[in-house]
């Protein structure tokens, strides 16, 4: 992905299989969010191809990605502040969610999704009035409303307490286990992510420098070098 003279994402290949929980980590400026923008159709890539369930969606607008089952959250929660929490979730259901039938139609309506996320009693609260932590959860709810096959999560843990992060991670596992979705998860809270996911890709300065099982990636020399001076990754993925 090229912006003028700057190459933000350079030759990153990522394959995500059904029901796979993949983590994407990397130091600041590695191009992770830009990568997500291309994955969700927000940005059209300067080069390369995007295949979603066999359909070539390269350069298509974002709503087609949503129609093919790609749903995402943003680094800072983008909810519709004037609408209630329930309306926010219902939005996804009304549009992308309509076109997709999903094996797990446990989610026939917004309230069920809110219940899954533990936000059931906030249903009528205007989204702008929720705490940031709850807004993050709501954003996941909005994405779930679109009945996706793949969920792209951009930094769920930012600004959350340790306990909240653990809850979020458990929720993400449930999304994969109970709903059968594939999940791609960008995160700075590397430790939690490494304990949760089954595969990790590491981006550094726009390139993918590692892709494999968490404990192997943690011992990868290139990865340690990339993180040197920031957080060194030790065995079992605990942050220094």
Partner 1 sequence: MTLRATLKLTLAAGIVLAAGPWVLSDFMLSLTLTCLMYAGLAVSWAMFSGATNYLSLATAAFFGLGAYVTAWTLQALPWPVVVLLGGLVAAAFAALVGAAILHLRGAYFAVLTFGLGELVRHAITYFEKSYAGTVGRVLSATPEPATVYLTVLAIAMAAVCTCALVRASRLGLALVGIGADEERAQTLGVNTRRVKIAAFALSAFFAGALGAAMAVRWTYIDPPAVFNAFIGFQTVLIAMVGGAQTIIGPLVSALVFSLLTEFLRLQFPYLFLMILGTLLILLVLYLPGGLASLWPLLRARLAAVGAWLAPLEDRGRRG
Query: What contacts 35, CB < 8 A, 6 or more positions away?
Result: 1, 9, 12, 14, 24, 203
Binding string to partner 1 for residues 82 to 121, with x set by CB under 8 A, is what? xx-------xx-xxxxxx----------------------
CA distances (Å), 144 to each of 7, 135, 194, in order? 32, 14, 23
Binding flag, residue 44, partner 1 (CB under 8 A): no
Dig out the tokens for 83 from the structure.
């609408």
Dig out the tokens for 84 from the structure.
């209630």
The DSSP code sequence of 49-91 is --EETTEE-TT--HHHHHHTTEEE--SS----TTSBHHHHHHH
CB nearer to partner 1: give 145 or 237: 145
The residue range among 106-114, 140-148, 175-183, 203-211 that interacts with partner 1, by the rule CB under 8 A, is 140-148
d(CA 234, CA 211): 17
55, 136 Cβ separation under 8 angstroms: no
Binding flag, residue 38, partner 1 (CB under 8 A): no
Interface size with partner 1, residues (CB under 8 A): 29
Binding flag, residue 72, partner 1 (CB under 8 A): yes
Which of 142, 165, 189, 226 touches partner 1 (CB under 8 A)?
Answer: 142
Binding flag, residue 206, partner 1 (CB under 8 A): no
Number of C-beta neighbours around residue 76 at 10 A = 13
d(CA 155, CA 77): 10
Q: Nearest distance from residue 175's CB to partner 1, in Å?
A: 17
CB nearer to partner 1: give 67 or 130: 67
The residue range among 80-88, 104-112, 130-138, 222-230 that interacts with partner 1, by the rule CB under 8 A, is 80-88
Binding residues vs partner 1 (CB under 8 A):
40-42, 61-63, 65-67, 71-72, 74, 78, 80-83, 91-92, 94-99, 142-143, 145-146
């Amino acid at each position: 992905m090229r912006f003028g003279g700057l190459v933000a994402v350079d030759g990153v290949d990522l394959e995500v299989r059904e029901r796979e929980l993949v983590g994407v980590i990397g130091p600041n400026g590695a191009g992770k969010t830009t990568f997500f923008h291309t994955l969700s159709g927000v940005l059209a890539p300067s080069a390369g191809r995007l295949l979603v369930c066999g359909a070539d969606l390269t350069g298509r607008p974002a709503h087609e990605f949503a129609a093919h089952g790609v749903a995402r959250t943003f680094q800072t929660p983008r909810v519709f502040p004037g609408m209630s929490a329930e309306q926010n979730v219902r939005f996804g259901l009304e549009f992308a969610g309509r076109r997709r039938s999903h094996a797990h139609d446990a989610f026939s309506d917004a309230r069920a999704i809110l219940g899954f996320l533990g936000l059931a009693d906030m249903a009528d609260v205007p989204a702008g009035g929720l705490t940031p932590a709850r807004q993050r959860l709501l954003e996941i709810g909005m994405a779930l409303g679109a009945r996706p096959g793949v969920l792209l999560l951009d930094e769920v843990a930012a600004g959350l307490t340790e306990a909240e992060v653990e809850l979020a991670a458990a929720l993400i596992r449930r999304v994969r286990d109970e709903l059968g979705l594939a999940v791609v998860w960008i995160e700075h809270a590397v430790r939690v992510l490494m304990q949760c996911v089954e595969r990790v890709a590491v981006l550094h300065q726009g390139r993918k420098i590692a892709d494999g099982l968490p404990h192997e990636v943690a011992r990868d020399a290139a990865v340690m070098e990339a993180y040197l001076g920031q957080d060194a990754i030790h065995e079992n993925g605990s942050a220094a």
